Chain A
Amino acid sequence: MEGTLHSLLHGFAVALQFDNVWYAFLGCLVGTLVGVLPGIGPLSGISILLPVTFGMNATQAIIMLAGIYYGSQYGGSTTSILMRIPGEASSVMTCIDGYAMAKRGRAGAALCIAAVGSWIAGTFGVVVLTVVAPPLATLAVRFGPPEYTALLILGLIFLAYMSSSSLIRTLLMACLGLLLGMIGIDNMTGHFRYSFNLAELGDGIGIVPVAVGLFGLGEILSTPSNQVVGEVIQPKLRDLLPSRQEWREAAFPIGRGTLLGFIIGIIPGSAHVISSFLSYALEKRVSKHPEQFGKGAVAGVAGPESANNAASTGAFVPMLALGIPTSPITAVLIGALMLHGVSVGPTLVNDHPDVFWGFVASMYVGNLMLLALNLPLVSVFVTVLRIPYAYLYPLIIMFCVIGVYEVNNSIVDVWIMLVMGVLGYWLRKFNFDPAPLVLGLVIAPILEQSLRQSLIMSNGDYLIFFQRPIALVLLGVAGGLLLLSAIALIRHRTDWRTKLAEAEAGEPG
Chain B
Amino acid sequence: MTLRADHVAGAAFVGFGLLVIALSGDLPMGGLSMPGSGFLPKILAGLMIFFGLVLIARAGESRPFAEVEWTDAKHAAAVTAITAAGIAAFELLGFLITMVLLMFLLLVAIERRPLHWAALYSLGVVGLTYVTFEYLLKTPLVTGPFGF
| Chain B positions 45 through 59: 1 when the CB is less than 8 Å from some CB of chain A, otherwise 0 | 101100110110010
Contacts of B72 in A (CB 8 A): 221-224, 227
Cβ of B32 < 8 Å from any Cβ of A?
Answer: yes
Q: CA of A406 to CA of B13 in the docked complex: distance in angstroms?
A: 32
Q: CA of A217 to CA of B80 in the docked complex: distance in angstroms?
A: 9
Chain B residues 102 to 123 lying within 8 A of chain A, measured CB to CB, are 102-103, 106-107, 111, 113, 121-122
User: Is the interface on chain B under 10, 10 to 19, 20 to 34, or 35 or more residues?
Assistant: 35 or more
CB distance from A328 to the nearest CB of B (A): 19
- Contact: A217 with B139, CB < 8 Å? no
Please, which residue of chain A has its CB at the minimum distance from the CB of B99? A398
Q: CA of A176 to CA of B41 in the docked complex: distance in angstroms?
A: 10
Please, which residue of chain B has its CB at the minimum distance from the CB of A432? B9
| Chain A positions 95 through 132: 1 when the CB is less than 8 Å from some CB of chain B, otherwise 0 | 00000000000000000000000000000000000000
CB distance from A445 to the nearest CB of B (A): 10
- Contact: A402 with B95, CB < 8 Å? yes
Contacts A175-B44, A193-B41 given; indicate if A398 touches B102 (C-beta within 8 A): yes
Residue pairs across A and B with CB atoms within 8 Å: the count is 156
Contacts of B13 in A (CB 8 A): 172, 176
Cβ of A271 < 8 Å from any Cβ of B?
Answer: no
Contacts A172-B13, A224-B72 given; indicate if A391 touches B90 (C-beta within 8 A): no
Cβ of A418 < 8 Å from any Cβ of B?
Answer: yes
- Contact: A391 with B107, CB < 8 Å? yes
- Contact: B75 with A224, CB < 8 Å? yes
Please, which residue of chain B has its CB at the minimum distance from the CB of A492? B61
Cβ of A201 < 8 Å from any Cβ of B?
Answer: no
| Chain A positions 168 through 185: 1 when the CB is less than 8 Å from some CB of chain B, otherwise 0 | 110110011011001000
Contacts A179-B48, A418-B80 given; indicate if A390 touches B33 (C-beta within 8 A): no
Q: Among A70-78, A338-346, A453-461, which stretch is in contact with chain B?
A: A453-461
Contacts of B99 in A (CB 8 A): 398, 401
Cβ of A462 < 8 Å from any Cβ of B?
Answer: yes
Contacts A224-B75, A391-B121, A398-B99 given; indicate if A430 touches B5 (C-beta within 8 A): yes
Cβ of A381 < 8 Å from any Cβ of B?
Answer: no
Contacts of B106 in A (CB 8 A): 393-394, 397
- Contact: B54 with A168, CB < 8 Å? yes
Contacts of A225 in B (CB 8 A): 75, 111
Partner among B32, B44, B103, B121 whose Cβ is within 8 Å of the Cβ of A179: B44
Contacts A193-B41, A221-B76 given; indicate if A452 touches B35 (C-beta within 8 A): yes
Contacts of A222 in B (CB 8 A): 72, 76
Cβ of B142 < 8 Å from any Cβ of A?
Answer: yes
Q: CA of A395 to CA of B124 in the docked complex: distance in angstroms?
A: 11
Q: CA of A191 to CA of B29 in the docked complex: distance in angstroms?
A: 12
Contacts of A194 in B (CB 8 A): 20, 23, 41
| Chain A positions 41 through 70: 1 when the CB is less than 8 Å from some CB of chain B, otherwise 0 | 000000000011011000000000000000
Contacts of A421 in B (CB 8 A): 80, 83
- Contact: A172 with B52, CB < 8 Å? yes
Cβ of A425 < 8 Å from any Cβ of B?
Answer: yes
CB distance from A1 to the nearest CB of B (A): 41
9 residue pairs bridging A and B, Cβ less than 8 Å apart: A175-B48, A193-B41, A194-B41, A221-B76, A221-B80, A227-B72, A391-B113, A395-B125, A398-B126
Chain A positions within 8 Å of B, measured between CB atoms, are 51-52, 54-55, 168-169, 171-172, 175-176, 178-179, 182, 186, 188-189, 191, 193-194, 217, 220-225, 227, 390-391, 393-395, 397-399, 401-402, 405-406, 411, 414-415, 418, 421-422, 425, 429-432, 447-448, 451-452, 455-456, 459-462
Please provide the 7 A-B residue pairs with the shortest distance between their CB atoms, ordered closest to farther. A460-B33, A460-B32, A186-B37, A191-B37, A221-B76, A224-B75, A390-B111
